[in-house]
Structure 1
Amino acid sequence: MNKFIYILLVILSISSCSPYQKAMKSDDVEFKTKVFTEQIEKKKYSKAIRLFEQFASALRAKPQGEAAFYSYAQALYNTKQYISAAYEFERFSSSYPKSPLAEEAAFYGAECYSKVSPIYSLDQVDTDKALSKIQVFVNKYPNSTYLPKANEIVKVMSEKLELKAFEIAKQYNTIGEFTRDYNAAIIALDNFVFNFPGSKYKEDALFYKYDAMYKLATNSIPSKKQERLNSAKTYYQNLVKFKADTKYLQQSNKMLETVEKELKQYTN
């Protein structure tokens, strides 16, 4: 036991005298910067961050500040502190606009917001922000080597917003079973198709729009039934015109049979 305690004390003594511990206690900015750089090189980012935050303000006007602040932003990025990293990257690119790292910093600053973009079902504030920041980057650096990555981020973020918009529109049709407000579903699905004309969910949206009108028509009051049945028939035609072999064809044809059967009462 005594031997173990002795070894432990030796380890603690060595640790307390390490360059990092000395730098944490030192007021020497040059020494702190040197140790900070060493921690970055060793990929000990959390330690580097703690140390840098002690003397960051003292580096603002110093020549070594440029490299140090960029390394600090990268350390935050590598420890997945994306909002803080975004702030530091953006501040770097504005503080050092002539730096060869300014463009890279601007890209990473924008990319950080895509890293915190949540799944489509949650609030998409950060997704919108990511798209906005990427657009600012592309406008500023239209020939950037980061353009392919920027375009990929735009694609992923846009698809997420598209899916969210579709699911919201589709949900109106789902809850129509309980609220009987199929008009809200039709409007929501109409808006979706208008806002995302090339969407991969267009077939689904056209079917659910037809489905909503079908339910509205077949459950309608007599004075509005004929008009709504005809609208349902038009929505069916829009669906099969868009995709003749739609995956909803069998179900849609069965619904159409009901629509045409009920329309016959108005032909006399």
Structure 2
Amino acid sequence: MRQLLSLLVFVVIFSSCSEYQKVLKNEDSSAKYELAEKLYNAKDYKKANRLLEQIAPKYVGKPQGERVMFFFADSYFKIGDYNLAGYQFERFIKSYPKSEKLQEAAFLGAQSYYELSPKYSLDQTDTDKALVKLQNFINTYPNSEFFERANIMAKELTTKKEKKAIEIVAQYNKISAFDFSFLTPAISGAENFLSDFPGSIYREDALFYKFNASTNFAINSFDSKKAERLQSAKVAYNNLKKYYPESKYLKKADDMMQTINKELENFSK
């Protein structure tokens, strides 16, 4: 019985492969369309994609064109070729703006760019593209079944960008302890972060980095600028304490604040 089942499976696979190879070399577009749909529905997206690639240009403007183009884009998505998937979904959206599949195509196109987003330490160009696509989808289809998933993905990508940004600010702070020329970029970097990502999970870190860099900047300034910069550092401390009264940086920040107060006392004398 096992041998018979194995033989039947072999025959089915062999027949399927033979049919596929035969249709692939055939010039009959309708035969390719029929088999491509059959393979797509059977989740054999790689073979379906090859057939769809051959017939897609021939179905432009035809009744089946919409169906062919969606299958074509989605087959790229299913096999993990997200660059081409994103491109083909964009073509579908432009070609069929009234399609019943428009919403799904817009979401899958955005998800294609989401899948291309690299880890936070690398260039985030694809992340930016994905965020634009996802935000457009969220704004356009607030009642979509894909709305929640789009929001989750957008939040994940935003957090990734925030992590990269805060790592840069942290690096500036670290280097500025040895090279004072990095103190100004450290302060402005923290300020930019707070402005660009006001609701970030790294907001506490940014506030502390600003205070830390502001303190070092003030203490290492010429006397003519020191008092003004010490006051700016004090403001940075107060902001950290205001928004995070039990901050993980509180002990270190309090110690630094004592130094600032001593410096200010010297000026008052």
1-structure distance, mates of 2:191, 2:222: 23
Conserved 8 A contact 1:16-1:22: no
> Shift in Å at residue 75 of structure 1?
1.0
> Shift in Å at residue 126 of structure 1?
1.4
2-structure distance, mates of 1:17, 1:174: 61
In structure 1, stretches of 5+ residues that fail to align are: 1-10
The residue type equivalent to 1:104 in the other structure is E
Match of 2:220 in 1: 219
2-structure distance, mates of 1:187, 1:249: 22
1-structure distance, mates of 2:36, 2:16: 17
Match of 2:4 in 1: none
Match of 2:208 in 1: 207
CA 1:239/1:141 → structure 2, altered by over 3 Å: closer, same or farther?
Answer: closer
Identity %: 47
1:3-27 CA deviation, whole Å, 9 max, x = no partner? xxxxxxxx9xx67971101011111
2-structure distance, mates of 1:61, 1:75: 20
> Shift in Å at residue 76 of structure 1?
0.5
Conserved 8 A contact 1:186-1:212: yes
TM-score (norm 1): 0.86
Runs (4+) of structure 1 moved beyond 4 Å?
A: 14-17
1-structure distance, mates of 2:256, 2:168: 24
The residue type equivalent to 1:209 in the other structure is K
**2:143 aligned with 1:143, yes or no?**
yes
* Mapping for residues 111-150 of structure 1, pairs under 5 Å: 111-150=111-150
1-structure distance, mates of 2:242, 2:96: 56
Match of 2:62, SS state, is: coil
> Shift in Å at residue 265 of structure 1?
2.3
Match of 1:67, SS state, is: helix
Match of 1:108, SS state, is: helix
> Shift in Å at residue 62 of structure 1?
3.1
The residue type equivalent to 1:118 in the other structure is P
Conserved 8 A contact 2:56-2:72: no
Match of 1:99 in 2: 99
**2:77 aligned with 1:77, yes or no?**
yes
CA 1:16/1:196 → structure 2, altered by over 3 Å: closer, same or farther?
Answer: closer
1:154-210 CA deviation, whole Å, 9 max, x = no partner? 222222222222222222222212331212211211122122222222211111111
> Shift in Å at residue 68 of structure 1?
2.3
**2:187 aligned with 1:186, yes or no?**
yes
CA 1:244/1:135 → structure 2, altered by over 3 Å: closer, same or farther?
Answer: closer
In structure 2, stretches of 5+ residues that fail to align are: 1-10
2-structure distance, mates of 1:178, 1:120: 26
CA 1:206/1:136 → structure 2, altered by over 3 Å: closer, same or farther?
Answer: closer
CA 1:99/1:190 → structure 2, altered by over 3 Å: closer, same or farther?
Answer: closer
Match of 1:172 in 2: 172
CA 1:251/1:17 → structure 2, altered by over 3 Å: closer, same or farther?
Answer: closer
Match of 2:197 in 1: 196
> Shift in Å at residue 229 of structure 1?
2.8
Conserved 8 A contact 1:86-1:113: yes
CA 1:52/1:160 → structure 2, altered by over 3 Å: closer, same or farther?
Answer: same
Match of 1:235 in 2: 236
Q: CA RMSD in A?
A: 2.3
Match of 2:34 in 1: 34
Conserved 8 A contact 2:117-2:127: yes
TM-score (norm 2): 0.86
